[in-house]
Structure 1
Amino acid sequence: MLTITICVGSSCYVRGSDKVAKTLERLIQQENLSAQVELTGAFCMEQCSMGVSVRVDDQVYPEVYPEDAESFFYNEVVSRLQQGVK
C-alpha cells in the first residue's frame, strides 16, 4: 500500500492543500487505485515556507500546487506503482 500524506496545516491550506487533496482523491478513484493507495492528512510537515507539502511514503515533495496535482499524481504516484517502488 502506497501512502500519500497531504499537509493540511494553515500555511499549506492557504496554498490549496484542499484542492490538491480533492484532485488526488478523484484520480485515485478514476484510476481504480483505492486498494493500492491510501490518502491521509497531516497537520504540519515543517515545510511551511514552501508550497503544499505532500509525502509519498517517506519522500516529501514540498511544492505541490493545485494546478500541478494531476501531473504529480501520474509522475510520482502512478510511476511508483508501476515500478513497484516504495
Structure 2
Amino acid sequence: MTITICIGSSCHLKGSRTIIQKLEELITERQLNDKIELNGSFCMGECSNGVCVKINDELFSVSPETVNTFFENEVLRRL
C-alpha cells in the first residue's frame, strides 16, 4: 500500500508534517513498515478541506486531530 501525503505550502500550514510523523509512529508500532510505503507530494489540488492524503488513488482530507481515526478506519481496513 502506498500512502502519499501532500507537503505543499497549504497542507504544510494545516499540519502535514505532524500527520507524517504520526503515520510513521502508527506504522512502526504495528510493524507494518514492509506493507505500507509513505511518500510526499506537492499540491494534489484539493487544498480547501485539510491535508490531502492519498491511499493508492483514493483522496482523503486529514487533519492532525483525525489522523488516528483515518489510520484505523481507512488504512488498516485496506491491508
**Secondary structure class of the residue paired with 2:66:** helix
Q: Give unmatched runs, 5+ long, in structure 2.
A: none
TM-score by length of 1: 0.89
Percent identical:
48
Following the alignment from structure 1 to structure 2, what is the Cα–Cα distance between the partners of residues 25 and 51? 19
What does residue 13 of structure 2 align with? 14
Which residue of structure 2 aligns with residue 36 of structure 1? 35
- Map 1:59-74 to 2 at 5 A: 59-61=58-60, 63-74=61-72
> RMSD value over aligned CA atoms?
0.6
Give me the TM-score of the superposition, normalised by structure 2: 0.97
| Aligned structure 1 segments of 4 or more residues deviating by more than 4 angstroms | none
Look up the match of 1:23.
Answer: 22
Q: Which runs of 5+ in 1 are unaligned?
A: 82-86
Q: How many residues align?
A: 79
Q: Which residue number in structure 2 is paired with residue 76 of structure 1?
A: 74
User: Paired residue for 1:54?
Assistant: 53
Aligned partners of 1:72 and 1:49: how far apart in 2? 18
> CA offsets, 1:53-72, max 9 Å, x none?
000001001x2000110110
Q: What residue identity is the alignment partner of 2:23?
A: L
Shift of 1:74: 1.0
What is the letter of the counterpart of residue 75 of structure 2?
V
